[in-house]
Structure 1
């Protein structure tokens, strides 16, 4: 039997829960210790807020434009198509394995304990880095709303020493806040996250409306390459794809929260796909609208100021600040969603006794129904990562690039084993849930979609990790900064190998149940 989490407290909300969802979870060998309170919208909000187009496009628009010019827009539909292939595979797995810590759980069941452990390990590190990278995005908007938010120096640009230092301060404060919210309960997290996502969707619609009613040029702008970086355009275009690649990840969050979602076999697959699709549509319209509405494409303001420059140019002070406040809300719930997903992954691995301090990390607070120590661990490690980069003007691009590469590799540790299993005949049945409702499945298209998802994942991982000086050392730096992504991956694997060796012999393999290897 799989090692379970802390025993239920008599009379707790989940202690008397005999629902079909809890019975279903028990088939995998786990006690239902988390509070199952998330409905369809809350599940969608978890994925949408992790993707968070307002957060990530505001962060990266200037970066993408500075490399590819206006034609970098085409990286958006290309990345969406590739990531949707991955999401289709994840949706099928979410229907079959509705368990917290989904990347680890899926990979372990498809490829065995070692591969699954490293998938979880890579994802944990990626989520810590991603949470830190998302949190520093507050620097992009808060000083613009009010100069008092610039607590260090006067230069607000993330690429300056003052801006980078202030970003670390604001980001650390945000991580402290999201840690507190994650500790006090999934219901509070869901309320805040759902409210934040609603505000973000309103903000997205407002931004799109402003841009498309204040255009200075037509949609043909997306064919312009004259503002691209020097050198062959294909190279600039590939580098500009970092923006879209950074935005369209985290849609698997609905799977991470499966044990807190009502009817997860039906809900999680659809919210995984809808979170990515809605984000892609909204983000694409924002990109097109910004390019059409920007006062100038050639004076350098669009590359340096990004979307904030366009909004400030098209709106009066007060409406513009309201839109930026929506962006600040989006950044907050994005960081919250990333930390929540990461804490559930830590909890899931610790419950199987796969991590150091597993007993503490697998403990669920009897009142709040949350794994407290995983949330605290991610918050503290994220803040520590920011403090290590205090004053580093390249912190933004470096952290973002590294976390994307890690996420893509973690995804590959699911899609590659899944493809191998499909070739061998998985799934052999037409599965249904407890009520007999057919589960989401790719059917005869599974192998083709899965194979394309693997090719896509490999190509993007190589592209994103490629040591480009314009990305990793824009203001100069050592060779280790230039090779930050591949070096970070190697170090993560090396440290992971040591941790895995220390943990596994003492605790033995995780026993399987019939449901786990379906």
Structure 2
């Protein structure tokens, strides 16, 4: 890696922040327009409990019944351990492309490259999956949003007309989010911040209204009412896809570190805060929905999900009003995921590790954003949608696959982090922009790290398991049932070819400072 001297401080970045980034090996090209709340909003919007709970509530319930509720606190506890590990790294390495950067500095750039590559592909798929969530909301607000087949067509996401309409709505959303990302990070921050306020208010209103209309007691969550027939444990494990899909992306605050004011202080807090707020809000939303559902056994909850509960309990007007908040959350989620993916790709490109790196690493002097990577992520997500035009299982397969990819990328950080903890007896100390000690787990670091890895390995296996209920609803062939493992394998093979060719072109591996070498200079970098 070639270090360049930091330029003069741009108006949006105090000199201390420019100098800090320069000590880490980079010049201040991206504009620092993200404050504390906007940083939280980026992570919260990526998680987006309204988007993902509404999108996959029916799936979780159809598999595990009412007791699928318990997958939520288990996944939350596991992901909180991962978030704590990430918060430590975010304080020491406030750099765009956080997963790639952390993994590279912990385990070497070859290992880090594959971690970043898996993360980028997973983020592109997540953008696509978030965009098509509009199908679970907009037609329920107004039948005119069912553009394929007309307003009388089946709008269920697993029906042929519903799946095709999901692609159309998703492409429209992607066009809008790409335009916002191209315009600049400040507009993105304003949009996501406003949407997060609406989403939080919407969650509070939804939970309150549904609890007010409760029909059954808390003991409901200890029953298997509504579960699919068969051995229950495999079904319950499959139902955890919903919780696993919701609680990822809290690390996206780290992706915006180079655009965040006082990132060593701000980013660790917002990573944890985004997950904790989402975890509590989602738990209450799930519980309220189960208690207020008109029936647990007539099949309606599995097909219409929370949208059906809302319209049944609050009427068309009240239900549609709250569904509008969900639509806003879906849009903000797509925007946040696309932003995170573009920053990951930008971070890899400026190390010359991707094809067309000179174009992908270019930052617009007018907007202060990497325009090319925003467009590439948007186009990639659009292609992922387009190839699923005739696949009614688009929701389930894409959701499970993209989350399995993200969990693998997270493992690419937590495993080498544990090795570094053991070899170096913890992480290096330092201070944040206010002169306070960096966020640290202290003596609990190794234990938290070990349990986090165990949880992640179990969840990767669970998500990628070749289940017909997830990957091949219509029984079209073994290759669909095994598509997750096949796609992950293909991603690694293609990645290996790209990485090999790039290394040859640039004369060997890039060199990044190791974790401890740079972290020890934190105080000097900020001074």
**Fold-level match, TM-score > 0.5?**
yes
Cα-to-partner distance string for 1:278-310 (whole Å, 9 max, x where unaligned):
000000000000010001001000011100010
Residues 41 and 435 (structure 1 numbering): CA distance in 2 closer, same or farther, change over 3 Å?
A: closer
SS state at 1:103 partner: helix
Corresponding residue number in structure 1 for 2:523: none
Cα-to-partner distance string for 1:178-205 (whole Å, 9 max, x where unaligned):
0000000111000011001111111111
1:88 and 2:84 are equivalent in the alignment = yes
Aligned counterpart in structure 2 of residue 44 of structure 1, from 21, 40, 43: 40
Corresponding residue number in structure 2 for 1:443: 442
Cα-to-partner distance string for 1:223-249 (whole Å, 9 max, x where unaligned):
111321222211111011000000000
- In the aligned structure 1, how far is the partner of 2:418 from the partner of 2:325? 41
Post-superposition shift, 1:509?
A: 2.6
SS state at 1:108 partner: helix
- For the 8 Å contact 1:103–1:411, the answer to whether it is kept is yes
- For the 8 Å contact 2:104–2:512, the answer to whether it is kept is no
1:329 and 2:325 are equivalent in the alignment = no
1:152 and 2:151 are equivalent in the alignment = no
- In the aligned structure 2, how far is the partner of 1:218 from the partner of 1:183? 49
Post-superposition shift, 1:383?
A: 0.5
- In the aligned structure 2, how far is the partner of 1:48 from the partner of 1:417? 26
Post-superposition shift, 1:162?
A: 0.3
Corresponding residue number in structure 2 for 1:301: 300
| Residues 134-145 of structure 1: pairs in structure 2 closer than 5 A | 134-145=130-141
TM-score for both structures, normalised by structure 2: 0.95
Gaps of 5+ in 1: none
- In the aligned structure 2, how far is the partner of 1:478 from the partner of 1:3? 51
Aligned counterpart in structure 1 of residue 99 of structure 2, from 100, 103, 112: 103
- In the aligned structure 2, how far is the partner of 1:226 from the partner of 1:49? 32
- In the aligned structure 2, how far is the partner of 1:245 from the partner of 1:372? 31
| Residues 102-141 of structure 1: pairs in structure 2 closer than 5 A | 102-141=98-137
Corresponding residue number in structure 2 for 1:511: 511
- For the 8 Å contact 2:225–2:296, the answer to whether it is kept is no
- For the 8 Å contact 1:4–1:352, the answer to whether it is kept is no
- For the 8 Å contact 2:109–2:511, the answer to whether it is kept is no
- In the aligned structure 2, how far is the partner of 1:410 from the partner of 1:359? 25
| Residues 206-217 of structure 1: pairs in structure 2 closer than 5 A | 206-217=205-216
- In the aligned structure 2, how far is the partner of 1:143 from the partner of 1:25? 46
Residues 428 and 94 (structure 1 numbering): CA distance in 2 closer, same or farther, change over 3 Å?
A: closer
- In the aligned structure 2, how far is the partner of 1:11 from the partner of 1:280? 38
Corresponding residue number in structure 1 for 2:524: none
SS state at 1:251 partner: coil
Cα-to-partner distance string for 1:415-470 (whole Å, 9 max, x where unaligned):
00001111112535432135421010011010000000110110000011001111
Query: How many residue pairs are counted as aligned between the two chains?
Result: 514
Cα-to-partner distance string for 1:345-384 (whole Å, 9 max, x where unaligned):
0110111111111111111111111000000000111111
Residues 3 and 504 (structure 1 numbering): CA distance in 2 closer, same or farther, change over 3 Å?
A: farther
Cα-to-partner distance string for 1:458-501 (whole Å, 9 max, x where unaligned):
00000110011111111211111100111111000000000000
1:251 and 2:250 are equivalent in the alignment = yes
TM-score for both structures, normalised by structure 1: 0.97
- For the 8 Å contact 1:142–1:149, the answer to whether it is kept is yes
